[in-house]
Amino acid sequence: MGSANYHARIRFHDGSPSWLLRVLRVASFAVSLPSSLVENLVLSEYATLKFLETITVPAPRALGYGICRPRTDHGTGVSFILMEELRGTPWIDKPGVSSGEASENEKARVWRGVADILMELEKHPFPKAGSLCLQSSEIEVSAVASDRFLVLTPTGPFATSTAYYTAFAEQYLELIVDGQLYTEHPINAYLVYRFLRDNAIQLVSQEENQVTERFYLKHVDDKGGHLLVDEQLNITGIIDWQMARIIPRHEAFGPSLVTADMASLCNGKSSFSPNDLVLADILRRRGLSDLTSNITDEKDSRKSRLCAYATTPYGAPAPHPSQITATDVNGARSYCAGLLQKFDSPSYVLQTFIPASAKDAYLAIRALNIELARIPDLVSNPTVGALRMQFWRDNLTRTFAGTPPKEPVAILLHTALQSLRSRHPGLSTSVMKGWFMRIVNIREQYMDNRPFTTIDALETYAENTYSTLLYLTLATIPLNSMSTDHVASHIGKATGIAAILRGLPLLAFPPPPNHHSNNAAFSGALGGSVGGRQGAVVLPLEVMAEAGVREEDIYRQGADAPGLRDAVFTIATRANDHLITAGEMLKNLKQGEDAGHAFEHEGEDGHQYAERGISGKSQIDELEMGFGVLMPAVSTRLWLEKLEKNDFDIFKPELRAREWKLPWKSYLAYSRRTI
């Protein structure tokens, strides 16, 4: 019966066959199963058993089910399935008719029964891959039922084999990055599954590449313990269909666990066993050579189906896009907005000034920035952090190629890019992809919280992160304007410098580690620190030296460290200078004058501009189009003013509180077109 369920036997006084009450053990895994997953597994197994009743595959008869909801659990308080108990002995030790292990002739009797079952399942194809489930009292192919969905949303159904294999590779990649799988060798595992994902199309047979594919039911845990036999070794039934799937033909009728040499398989030897060959011979004698080829195809194994001559590079997009629905998009939009509300409240407030056509892009861009910024706080060592950064590079590559993974930020960004391309056919987004990669790269470079050597290095960091966020948002309007980019560059630098100052207390005195982190279990294996996080001071070293402040004094004395306020003042002054410069530029541009100084990034990637007049818009028109994107200047100015009022004591709690004046201050600034 396995260890994933409780079973209660129900006996009847009249001698009728006994029943089983089957209840999923919701706390039998690493964490408690969410209720939605429990319901999915119960409904899927019930639907599978009801389907099997319509064909000649021996399985328990499903008598009823209950879902742990008011008026749907029949008063039990749990989700359950009520089924008939099958008689028989598990074929796990391959017992013989008389005693000891079964002879080869006796085993052949069982393999003939297995062949009968395969032949029957082959008669009943399905149009999609997934798992059976009850949908409005009808049995349909729905999302895949699997315990691998402890932290992921069940996906499916899939119309093609390629989409099916790609989705599972993506889920394993996310679980590896999250520290739930392959904790001893995460990098090797990540590369293997990324290779499998990128080459999913090569796992598909020629038959499965046809326009209309067919899929078949398979008991994915088809080892001997779930195969029951009577005293004469006749198969009486197959039990435990909880995670059964509808899968591609080549996999459904490929090598199974029931015929495997499990000792060799667990030791890494995945060649075919004598039992595989006997089963294949039985099918061949019955004229089913196509099923025989599935079992004995040398390209297949139970461990993986890996093409040895793949040519697709690791970073290439998957060949088929995920099936993204309106529900997925709405969920992604809510997820991204929730991230902003929780971790970046100024950006959440200022979204109201973003043009409606660019709102989804804005949410996705800002949400990605949060995801990247949080990586050092969520991982316990640089190795896992690098994996997460690569995960986002891969996601961006796929999203810009039109094949986004089912990840909220990628889904919303894909939707925004589709909208942008539909509104402006022929518009290239390659520059935007380069800007995204720039943000990922610079975030990874400073992921270890190393200090900046000079204040110019801090400015470069701010340009490559916060200024680039503004460039990206302007590009989604779309607006390609040197004057607006120039103003955005200064505002982004001011915002980035202020962000480093604001984060200093949390970096110097980090909170206790997240004891619920999935990475804690294997941080030691990769050289990370399990016991706690070490503080860091990232202020520019040259500024600290000039102010006479020492890192150890900050750890010991906090706000009272000698020279700290002077250093903070120097850095804050640089941020304020950029805001002053941006304000003066706006005045000049609105009067039809030049900005007052050259744009230092003109000519770089993404900053090539047409001559004035070709676009048909004046500088004032361009500023009007993109002014809402420049509003972070208001939130940055308010924070710098608060810092000054607190005498540049960066440890004051007020500096980490939400700015209650931002909504109306930003409204006034936007109405007057001032910053």
Same domain for 497 and 560, yes or no, is yes
Domain boundary among 398, 425, 449: 449
Same domain for 663 and 634, yes or no, is yes
Confidence of residue 283 (pLDDT cuts 50, 70, 90): confident
Torsion sign, CA atoms 314, 315, 316, 322: positive
Confidence of residue 384 (pLDDT cuts 50, 70, 90): confident
Q: What is the model's pLDDT at position 523?
A: 34
Same domain for 402 and 336, yes or no, is yes
Same domain for 203 and 232, yes or no, is yes
Same domain for 591 and 492, yes or no, is yes
Same domain for 396 and 501, yes or no, is no
Q: Is residue 207 in some structural domain?
A: yes
Least confident segment among 74-88, 162-176, 356-370, 569-583: 162-176
Domain boundary among 399, 426, 449: 449
Arithmetic mean of pLDDT over the chain = 83
Confidence of residue 490 (pLDDT cuts 50, 70, 90): very high
Can you tell me whether residue 520 is helix, strand or coil? helix
Amino acid at 164: Y
User: Are 164 and 129 spatial neighbours (Cβ–Cβ below 8 Å)?
Assistant: yes
Same domain for 477 and 381, yes or no, is no
Domain boundary among 296, 321, 339: 296
Q: Is residue 302 in some structural domain?
A: no
Least confident segment among 161-170, 359-368, 580-589: 161-170
> How much of the chain exceeds pLDDT 90, in percent?
47
C-alpha to C-alpha distance for 49 and 627, rounded to whole angstroms = 61
Q: Is the confidence at residue 258, as pLDDT, over 60?
A: yes
User: Are 205 and 211 spatial neighbours (Cβ–Cβ below 8 Å)?
Assistant: no
Can you tell me whether residue 131 is helix, strand or coil? strand
C-alpha to C-alpha distance for 132 and 155, rounded to whole angstroms = 13
Q: Is residue 35 in some structural domain?
A: no
Q: Which helix (H) or strand (E) holds 7?
A: strand 5-10
Residue ranges making up the domain that contains 430: 331-449
> How much of the chain exceeds pLDDT 70, in percent?
83
Angle at 627 between CA 624 and CA 632, to 5 degrees: 175
C-alpha to C-alpha distance for 565 and 652, rounded to whole angstroms = 12
Of the candidates 139, 129, 115, the one whose C-alpha atom is nearest the C-alpha of residue 167 is 129
Same domain for 498 and 643, yes or no, is yes
CATH of the domain at 164: 3.90.1200
C-alpha to C-alpha distance for 559 and 147, rounded to whole angstroms = 49
Q: Is residue 160 in some structural domain?
A: yes
Q: Is the confidence at residue 316, as pLDDT, over 70?
A: no
Angle at 582 between CA 579 and CA 585, to 5 degrees: 150
User: Are 488 and 629 spatial neighbours (Cβ–Cβ below 8 Å)?
Assistant: yes
Same domain for 388 and 459, yes or no, is no
Select the highest-mean-pLDDT range: 27-36, 83-92, 312-321, 548-557.
Answer: 548-557
Same domain for 336 and 289, yes or no, is no
User: Are 579 and 491 spatial neighbours (Cβ–Cβ below 8 Å)?
Assistant: yes
Same domain for 430 and 468, yes or no, is no
Q: Is the confidence at residue 522, as pLDDT, over 60?
A: no
DSSP letters spanning 524-548: GGGT--SS-PPP---S-HHHHHHHT
Phi, psi (degrees; rounded to nearest 5) at 475: -65, -25
And the tokens for 30?
């690493």
And the tokens for 207?
């038959």
User: Are 626 and 489 spatial neighbours (Cβ–Cβ below 8 Å)?
Assistant: no
Angle at 465 between CA 463 and CA 469, to 5 degrees: 100
Same domain for 468 and 563, yes or no, is yes
Q: Is residue 518 in some structural domain?
A: no
Q: Which residues of 505-530 are buried (b: 16+ CB within 10 A; e: fewer)?
A: bebbebeebeeebbbbebbeebebee
Q: Is the confidence at residue 431, as pLDDT, over 50?
A: yes
Mean pLDDT in residue range 154-159 = 82
Least confident segment among 287-301, 424-438, 460-474, 657-671: 287-301
Least confident segment among 65-79, 322-336, 360-374, 523-537: 523-537
Q: Is residue 45 in some structural domain?
A: no
SS3 per-residue string spanning 475-503: HCCCCCCHHHHHHHHHHHHHHHHHHHHHH
Q: Is the confidence at residue 207, as pLDDT, over 90?
A: no
Can you tell me whether residue 285 is helix, strand or coil? helix
Q: Is the confidence at residue 469, as pLDDT, over 90?
A: yes
Query: Side-chain half-sphere of 173: how many Cα atoms within 13 Å?
Result: 26
Q: What is the model's pLDDT at position 246?
A: 93
Q: What is the model's pLDDT at position 631?
A: 97
Q: What is the model's pLDDT at position 268?
A: 58
Q: Is residue 128 in some structural domain?
A: yes
Q: What is the model's pLDDT at position 312?
A: 31
